[in-house]
């Protein structure tokens, strides 16, 4: 058994779970969803029936019935002396829940590979003899790629030398490494809410205590709350996505960048800027990157080619001042021994020779997907609020009732895989929101039709007056 979740933590994760009767099945479905989107990991011990019943103000028999339903569907097992433990998910869940071939996967917000990638790979493969003559272990990264990354920052107005770049195996690896080096158990980290869930998971794994700062599609970053959070908690780090924030799609204006920079400087926090979506502009236009701190160790930037080129090209990087880079390099062998040489050679060629071509093609692809998705949702679900997205990978759609979790579970049985709003939350909530990627081909009408059919079913199944109760909960 790897971990345990307390009754209180489970109650927070469940949010507004009671969307219908009977209560035991609504509770079971909500726990299923937490397992499906990995908010509860496999082999996690659930709270005892008595403890969860007391926390949720339910009878013990209701919780017992929910656990029995979860056992019957293969989501948990009851072990003598250990209570109830979550199980690894099967490819296809009981009851028609589809997660295999033929499903419409709207959980992954990553575009298909750039069309010219195969040709570049073939070209690099022709130089294989030169590649395999190298040692193969390099925790810093090849000089050609670091020079290309530094040149990219220079073009954006961020003076950078190759010595200030560390190549990683994707952005997620970079986040884990930065967290492992800069954080100790119990350290506070300011994080946007909603935010990129895998980053939040990495920070928690490093022992961080997350402090949420709201960001919305309409109002952007809540600067007053942010300044209070920095001043009150004195965080060691802040994890921010200034450009086309995932999942809201919102970008910081110059005033927001400056305000958050100064708040971080006053508190002594390192600002970790996730810029993996920064080049996915559709119709915003150039924005100065900002965050030019007088203290070069106060800002760390993370980038990758996962969103711009292909998710299967596992090349990312950290841009930081030299002393920090040396600390990251010293700590890296405990995580991995370097980024593969072939991928680095491909990435160096892409950045040096094709990058402007790539971002132009990406802009056209994402525009077509965004416009098709916005149109389909507005026509089929007119009560939902579809935000303006000037770039990025997804729409953070506001629904007309806080039933995101219930919708995601229902539409899964129809073969559409989605992520509920609470998956992106730091401290609960967001059940009125749904993240829907527009990185798929522009023909999204079938997926939206299935979502709309599920929405009608979910709304019809909510008891009278329950929506008002859920509003007060979430």
**pLDDT tens for each residue of 184-238:** 999 999 999 999 999 999 999 999 999 999 999 999 999 999 999 999 999 999 9
How much is the average pLDDT of 444-448? 92
The answer as to whether 99 is a domain residue is no
- CA–CA distance, 214 with 229 (Å, rounded to integer): 11
| Residue that finishes a domain, picked among 331, 354, 377 | 354
| Residue that finishes a domain, picked among 328, 354, 380 | 354
What's the confidence (pLDDT) of residue 131?
86
Assign residue 75 the CATH number of its domain. Answer: 1.10.10.10
Assign residue 416 the CATH number of its domain. Answer: 3.90.1150.10
Three-state SS across the chain?
A: CCEECCHHHHHHHHCCCCCCCCHHHHHHHHHHHHHHCCCCCCCEECCCHHHHHHHHCCCHHHHHHHHHHHHHCCCEEEECCCEEEECCCCCCEHHHECCCCCCEECCCCCCCCCCCHHHHHHHHHCCHHHHHCCCCCECCCCHHHHHHHHHHHHHHCCCCCHHHEEEECCHHHHHHHHHHHHCCCCCEEEEEECCCHHHHHHHHHCCCEEEEEEEECCCEECHHHHHHHHHHHCCCEEEECCCCCCCCCCCCCHHHHHHHHHHHHHHCCEEEEECCCCCCECCCCCCCCCCCCCCHHHEEEEEECCCCCCCCCCCEEEECCHHHHHHHHHHHHHCCCECCHHHHHHHHHHHHHHHHHHHHHHHHHHHHHHHHHHHHHHHHCCCCECCCCCECCEEEEECCCCCHHHHHHHHHCCCEECEEHHHHCCCCCCCCEEEEECCCCCCCHHHHHHHHHHHHHHHHCCCCCHHHHHHHHC
What's the confidence (pLDDT) of residue 465?
55
What's the confidence (pLDDT) of residue 97?
44
**pLDDT tens for each residue of 400-438:** 999 998 899 899 988 999 999 999 999 878 999 999 999
pLDDT category of residue 13 using cuts at 50, 70 and 90:
confident
The answer as to whether 172 is a domain residue is yes
The answer as to whether 94 is a domain residue is no
Q: State the sign of the Cα–Cα–Cα–Cα dihedral 147, 150, 156, 159.
A: negative
Do 338 and 362 have their domain in common? Answer: no
Do 145 and 269 have their domain in common? Answer: yes
Do 304 and 401 have their domain in common? Answer: no
The answer as to whether 154 is a domain residue is yes
pLDDT category of residue 471 using cuts at 50, 70 and 90:
low
What's the confidence (pLDDT) of residue 237?
98
- CA–CA distance, 427 with 174 (Å, rounded to integer): 24
Do 160 and 280 have their domain in common? Answer: yes
| Residue that finishes a domain, picked among 307, 325, 354 | 354
Do 335 and 370 have their domain in common? Answer: no
Give the CA angle between residues 220, 222, 226 to the nearest 5°. 135
The residue with greater pLDDT, 150 or 39, is: 150
- What is the residue range of 384's domain? 104-113+358-473
Do 343 and 287 have their domain in common? Answer: yes
What's the confidence (pLDDT) of residue 413?
87
Residue 235 phi, psi dihedral angles, 5° rounding: -65, 150
Do 259 and 317 have their domain in common? Answer: yes
Tell me if 471 sits within 8 A of 432, measured CB to CB.
no
Do 462 and 367 have their domain in common? Answer: yes
Do 337 and 421 have their domain in common? Answer: no
Do 139 and 245 have their domain in common? Answer: yes
Span between the terminal Cα atoms of the chain, in Å: 31
Do 290 and 203 have their domain in common? Answer: yes
Which is nearest to 52 in space by CA: 87, 84, 6, 115? 6
What's the confidence (pLDDT) of residue 136?
74
Mean pLDDT taken over the chain: 91
What's the confidence (pLDDT) of residue 468?
54
Assign residue 325 the CATH number of its domain. Answer: 3.40.640.10
The residue with greater pLDDT, 361 or 137, is: 361
Instruction: Say if residue 441's pLDDT is above 80.
Output: no
Instruction: Say if residue 98's pLDDT is above 70.
Output: no
**pLDDT tens for each residue of 273-330:** 999 999 999 999 999 999 999 899 999 999 999 999 999 999 999 999 999 999 999 9
pLDDT category of residue 250 using cuts at 50, 70 and 90:
very high
pLDDT category of residue 96 using cuts at 50, 70 and 90:
very low
The answer as to whether 303 is a domain residue is yes
Do 333 and 467 have their domain in common? Answer: no
pLDDT category of residue 93 using cuts at 50, 70 and 90:
very low
How much is the average pLDDT of 127-144? 88
The answer as to whether 96 is a domain residue is no
What's the confidence (pLDDT) of residue 189?
98
What's the confidence (pLDDT) of residue 217?
97
**pLDDT tens for each residue of 413-422:** 889 999 999 9
How much is the average pLDDT of 158-171? 97
The answer as to whether 13 is a domain residue is yes
Tell me if 315 sits within 8 A of 339, measured CB to CB.
yes
**pLDDT tens for each residue of 41-77:** 899 999 999 999 999 999 999 999 999 999 998 999 9
Q: Is the pTM of this model over 0.85?
A: yes
Instruction: Say if residue 91's pLDDT is above 80.
Output: no
Tell me if 376 sits within 8 A of 444, measured CB to CB.
yes
Helix (H, G, I), strand (E, B) or coil at 394: strand
Number of domains forming the structure of the chain: 3
The answer as to whether 97 is a domain residue is no
């Amino acid at each position: 058994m790897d971990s345990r979740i307390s009754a209180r933590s489970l109650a927070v994760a469940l949010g507004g779970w009671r969307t219908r009767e009977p209560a035991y099945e609504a509770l079971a479905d909500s726990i299923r969803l937490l397992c499906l989107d990995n908010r509860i990991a496999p082999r996690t011990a659930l709270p005892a029936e008595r403890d969860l019943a007391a926390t949720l103000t339910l009878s013990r028999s209701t919780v017992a019935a929910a656990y029995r339903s979860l056992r019957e569907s293969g989501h948990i097992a009851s072990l003598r002396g250990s209570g109830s433990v979550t199980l690894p998910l099967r490819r296809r869940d009981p009851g028609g829940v589809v997660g295999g071939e033929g499903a419409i996967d709207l959980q992954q917000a990553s575009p298909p590979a750039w069309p010219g990638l195969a040709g570049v790979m073939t070209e690099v493969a022709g130089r294989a003899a030169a590649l395999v003559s190298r040692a193969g272990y390099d925790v810093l990264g090849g000089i050609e790629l670091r020079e290309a990354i530094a040149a990219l920052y220079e073009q954006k107005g961020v003076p950078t030398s190759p010595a200030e770049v560390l190549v990683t195996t994707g952005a997620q690896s970079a986040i884990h490494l930065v967290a492992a080096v800069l954080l100790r158990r119990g350290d506070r980290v300011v994080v946007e809410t909603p935010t990129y869930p895998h980053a939040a998971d990495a920070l928690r794994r490093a022992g961080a205590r997350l402090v949420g700062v709201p960001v919305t599609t309409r109002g952007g970053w809540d600067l007053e709350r942010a300044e209070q959070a920095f001043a009150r908690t004195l965080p060691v780090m802040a994890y921010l996505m200034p450009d086309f924030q995932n999942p809201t799609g919102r970008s910081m204006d110059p005033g927001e960048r400056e305000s958050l920079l100064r708040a971080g400087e006053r508190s002594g926090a390192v600002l970790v800027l996730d810029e993996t979506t920064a080049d996915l502009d559709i119709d915003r236009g150039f924005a100065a990157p900002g965050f030019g701190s007088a203290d070069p160790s106060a800002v760390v930037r993370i980038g990758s080619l996962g969103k711009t080129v292909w998710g299967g090209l596992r090349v990312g990087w950290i841009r930081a001042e030299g002393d920090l880079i040396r600390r990251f390099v010293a700590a890296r062998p405990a995580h991995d021994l370097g980024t593969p040489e072939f991928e680095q050679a491909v990435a160096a060629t892409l950045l040096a020779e094709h990058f402007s071509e790539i971002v132009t093609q990406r802009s056209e692809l994402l525009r077509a997907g965004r416009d098709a998705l916005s149109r389909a949702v507005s026509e089929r679900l007119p009560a939902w609020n579809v935000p303006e997205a000037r770039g990025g990978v997804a729409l953070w759609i506001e629904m007309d009732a806080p039933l995101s979790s219930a919708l995601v579970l229902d539409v899964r049985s129809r073969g559409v895989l989605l992520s509920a709003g609470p998956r992106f939350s730091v401290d609960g909530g967001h059940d009125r929101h749904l993240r829907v990627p527009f990185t798929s081909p522009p023909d999204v009408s079938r997926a939206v039709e299935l979502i709309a059919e599920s929405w009608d079913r979910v709304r019809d199944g909510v008891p009278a007056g329950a929506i008002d109760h859920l509003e007060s909960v979430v």
